[in-house]
Structure 1
Amino acid sequence: MAQFDMPIEQLRTYRSESVEPPDFDRFWADTLAQARGHDLAARFEPVATALRTVDTFDVEFSGFDGHRIKGWFTVPAGAREPLPVVVEFIGYGGGRGLPHERLTWASAGYAHFLMDTRGQGGSWSTGDTPDPVGSGSATPGFLTRGITDRDEFYYRRVITDGVRAVEAARTHPLADASRTVVTGVSQGGGLSIAVGGLVPDLVAVAPDVPFLCDLPRAVRITDAFPYREVASYLSTHRPERERAFGTLAYFDNVHFAARGRAPALFSTALLDATCPPSTVFAAFNGYGHEDRTIEVYDFNGHEGGGAHHEALRLEWLPKYL
């Protein structure tokens, strides 16, 4: 694909026209208070694997509405002292997979907490966390589940799970709660921005080609999925346009980014039709902390910087720990 979005000079100054709901903060404060009314009950069970360089724990904790969420907690083998903890969120359609699939952060000396995504894990990796909440009429996928009601919208549950994942990770004896980072790619990058806007004491946020940014523009400028799900839904549910976009405003990372309180390393790719670069720049340009950097991959699509960007994250993070 050729570059289809704004030129880079315009991207660097672009600001979203997404309108923040006046009760945005109250909505999220109430949502998290409701979730915290349930016992976090974080459980870490050692897992026997053939891996010699890391120790892995099977995790379960209470997320939105007390629903039990799975994850993996992985540390360098034999670790005895608390370590900086990297909480990672997963891309769209994926699940936590198997313990040996994500070893980078533990291999670099961190405690790594990987949150399973409720209801996902049926596309490119396996998941173990059901979403017990149904929804009304929706397009196949996750982006339109409950889209006409902010209280029932799927990502209200997932973002809340993400905040609770940070809280759960911090309860493990090998996690240094004062040195907590959130990161992820695509949907995982979007969740890291949202969680970064809701958890005030993170030391760093590293969203890679993030999803859920500048939603009104994203839905209109790309024909790629998952954003196409919203257009497909509204092509048959024509009277629901205002309600749908009214709901999405409570989950737009442009508004979470404005509340970012930690240094951030973003990435985007100029050929990315899945998470168009202007939508990523919308969140980056409005990010709330002055120490923010964005890496731009001129000739890549949604794969972004791949292993090169992973190496960059590994080099960038220690300065904040």
Structure 2
Amino acid sequence: MTLHDQNGSVVVAVDAGGTKVLGALVRPDGSLVREHALPSRKDPGSQVTLRVVSALAASAAADGLTITGAGCGFPEYVRDGRLTAREVLDWTEQPGDLIAAALPGVPVTVESDVRCGALAEARMGAGRGARSVLYLSWGTGLSSTLVLDGVCVTGRRGEAIALGELGVPSEVDSRWRGNLERYASGLGIAERFAAMTGLALPGAREVMALLTPEADAAGAAAAREVVKSAGLAVGTVASWLVSLLDPDVVVLGGGLGTSGSVVTAIAAERFTALNARRPCGPPMLPAALGSRAGLLGAALTALDGCGEPASRPTGGPL
């Protein structure tokens, strides 16, 4: 997609997460003009989002900027611009309705946050130039999206993002009965480490910090086991998806996916080994846009809202 510069025009982009809602005013060339963030743990996600959008609208008015669209990414299932789940944040109202009321006359698009990140990486980041991009978001949770010709495939119900709902390969852990997200996500790594040691840590980064010669022997041993198995599981499942989807490139996004840490190295090594049998297997690349991928993708959905859609449905109505 070509971003056409227009004097004084911006779109509102929102990237809502489990801990904060980050918003920005973004010019058509992709540059960020102003940002605003609020924590999202204590209040309903829809109300926090509305406050962020209202603050950005006030900033745009003060700076003489015209808002031409709004794009928002949320960590839930989304279909046709409507949230269909409340698994991460406590939504009391559809945020798209609230934003449309706060920005009268401005087109508003609502998408899943992983599709926003995937869209940005496919069009502007590590997957740029590839016809098909498999984007894996590996952070506190686990999700994925396939992007074809710069457009996200949503699935019939908007649920073609549920990487974390897959099982854990038996060759990695035959005893595990939960899903992949509870095993290998940042939260899952911390939970499994706590179950083994009784030591509660916030997330995967803190667990990996124990992989040092100075760490307690028992804690370090448990950390090595949990981190290695998580990396093997993600690398193996990524190779499964390649077998099904045959993408040009696999992009690892999210906090863990872009961390360059030992767990991503293990996943990449496993993925490469399993794909060695393919004569031209796709590479696994770290996302190039970092923490701004979600915001930039949300901005792209807003710009697409004035033209081509950001997501391609793959089925009829329920």
Q: Give me the TM-score of the superposition, normalised by structure 2.
A: 0.30
| Structure with more contact order per residue of length (Cα contacts < 8 Å, sep ≥ 6) | 2
Larger radius of gyration: 2
Q: Give me the TM-score of the superposition, normalised by structure 1.
A: 0.30
